[in-house]
Amino acid sequence: MKKIIRLLALMLIPAASVIAAPSVSAPEINAASAILIDSETGTVLFEKNADALIPPASMTKLMTIHTALEFINDGRAAADDLVPISANADFRNLPPRSSLMFLEEGQRVTLMELLQGLALPSGNDAGIAVAEYLAGSVEAFVGLMNEQAAKLGMLQTHFDDSSGLSEKNVTTAREYAEFCRYYIEKNSSRIADLHMLQSFTYPKTENLGPSGKSVHGPITQPNHNMLIGRMASVDGLKTGYIDESGFNFAATAVVDDRRLILVSMGGPGSNSSDGAIKRAIDAAVLLSYGFYAWSFYQPEVPLEESVRVYGGTIDNIGLVYSPADEILIRNTNLDKLEFVRVLRPIELPVEKGSLLGRWKLMLNEEELQSGIITAAESIEKGNIFKRICDALRKPVR
């Protein structure tokens, strides 16, 4: 396992340390569905069956955390609130094979500890405790989760519980990537405390109930995201697995202030270790591809260009192109970019700054962006002799 992780770490070398390799091709991955996006622009860098409906499994907990943070952010709850643990949230009452924080009825736990228990060991018991505390019941809290999804335009997404155990939870890689993008932007100050810790220990002495004891004593569990702490650029977010979904992963990484977001779903695995390794490999390969094979590029518009004018006081008029915006583009497409100029018939007189046409930046017949072309100077009509001479010279179309 350690050798495999070290191999993964080598795969994700910061892109700034190497020259971008135009020959990097889109990778083959294990997951049935995946999407890789640039966080700043939303540009899709890779997708595979990204609109397939798949249960998010424990990635559901990311929406649980987000909904809880909405309570904290607007003052309806506080991170240090002590949350009562009911029998429903006691780990002994959860289904077999559940991932657990190991909560026990009567323990004293802060809301932030529960959110860490959701994010790191992926405790299904923590999902119940958070829902009951903030909304009175899991059902009511799930209604709030679905309200959040609707507000974000997640039309294909529906939540049935707060932990991700149910196969009735459903989303797509595309919608969940956009949600992750929003989640990171909205909760950037919480990322380190919730997603970057390598392990989580519970219960501590202050969590124990009146008896001062717990069933198992302090249990230290690793972050289920095996890339945390092993790849410096990776700082989140959430894994998931149920039989009906396969192995899922919402991952994000930052290199030189450039953040990528990956969601992979439906990953295979003969057992939990095999599936966890394969989804980590998928994530490493895709993030590496995004940083190596895609770059921001500043298109340069023509600076000194003019066109022939007939019948004016001068023969040529300078063109001014509006600036082009920086684009995120696959390196292999850089030499395929083309500026196309579309000018309207020039009628004299022309005032400086008047609209003469538009420009388009094209890639394989797809318009990436456009701008305007204006006159660099004013031109008046020439005298009658000049207009007659130019009329004779003007090409017939």
Question: What does the pLDDT look like over 59-76, one tens digit per residue?
Answer: 999 999 999 999 999 999
> How many domains does the chain fold into?
2
Residue type, 154: M
The mean-pLDDT minimum among 51-55, 188-192, 343-347 falls in 343-347
pLDDT digits (tens, 9 = 90+) for 91-140: 999 999 899 999 999 999 999 999 999 999 999 999 999 999 999 999 99
Claim to verify: residue 139 and residue 266 sit in the same structural domain: yes
Q: Give the structural domain span for 254.
A: 2-294
> Which of 33, 39, 99, 122 is an active site residue?
122
With respect to residue 352, please indicate whether it lies within any of the assigned structural domains.
yes
Claim to verify: residue 253 and residue 359 sit in the same structural domain: no
Split at pLDDT 50, 70, 90, the class of 397 is: low
Rounded-to-integer distance, Cα 276 and Cα 27, Å:
19
pTM above 0.85, yes or no: yes
pLDDT digits (tens, 9 = 90+) for 301-356: 988 889 988 887 888 899 999 999 999 999 999 999 999 999 998 889 999 999 99
pLDDT of residue 15: 37
Split at pLDDT 50, 70, 90, the class of 21 is: very low
Claim to verify: residue 122 and residue 242 sit in the same structural domain: yes
pLDDT of residue 18: 36
Rounded-to-integer distance, Cα 228 and Cα 222, Å:
10
Closest to 153 measured CA to CA, from 177, 136, 135, 169: 177
With respect to residue 299, please indicate whether it lies within any of the assigned structural domains.
no
Rounded-to-integer distance, Cα 242 and Cα 55, Å:
8
With respect to residue 300, please indicate whether it lies within any of the assigned structural domains.
no
For the cut 90, the answer to whether the pLDDT of residue 53 exceeds it is yes
Claim to verify: residue 228 and residue 279 sit in the same structural domain: yes
Phi and psi at 137, nearest 5°, equal -160, 160
The mean-pLDDT minimum among 36-50, 127-141, 298-312, 383-397 falls in 383-397
122 is catalytic: yes
58 is catalytic: yes
Residue type, 269: G
For the cut 60, the answer to whether the pLDDT of residue 23 exceeds it is no
Claim to verify: residue 237 and residue 325 sit in the same structural domain: no
Any idea what the CATH number is for the domain that residue 311 is in?
2.60.410.10
Split at pLDDT 50, 70, 90, the class of 284 is: very high
DSSP state of 325: P
pLDDT of residue 382: 72
State yes or no: cis peptide before 121, omega within 30 of 0.
Answer: no
With respect to residue 17, please indicate whether it lies within any of the assigned structural domains.
yes
pLDDT of residue 231: 84
For the cut 70, the answer to whether the pLDDT of residue 259 exceeds it is yes
381 is catalytic: no
> Which of 33, 39, 58, 162 is an active site residue?
58
**Average pLDDT of the segment spanning 266-274:** 95
Domain-terminating residue out of 251, 270, 294? 294
Dihedral sign from CA coordinates of 219, 224, 227, 228:
negative
Rounded-to-integer distance, Cα 389 and Cα 332, Å:
49
204 is in an annotated binding site: no
Domain-terminating residue out of 294, 320, 355? 294
> Which of 33, 39, 61, 264 is an active site residue?
61
**Average pLDDT of the segment spanning 193-197:** 95
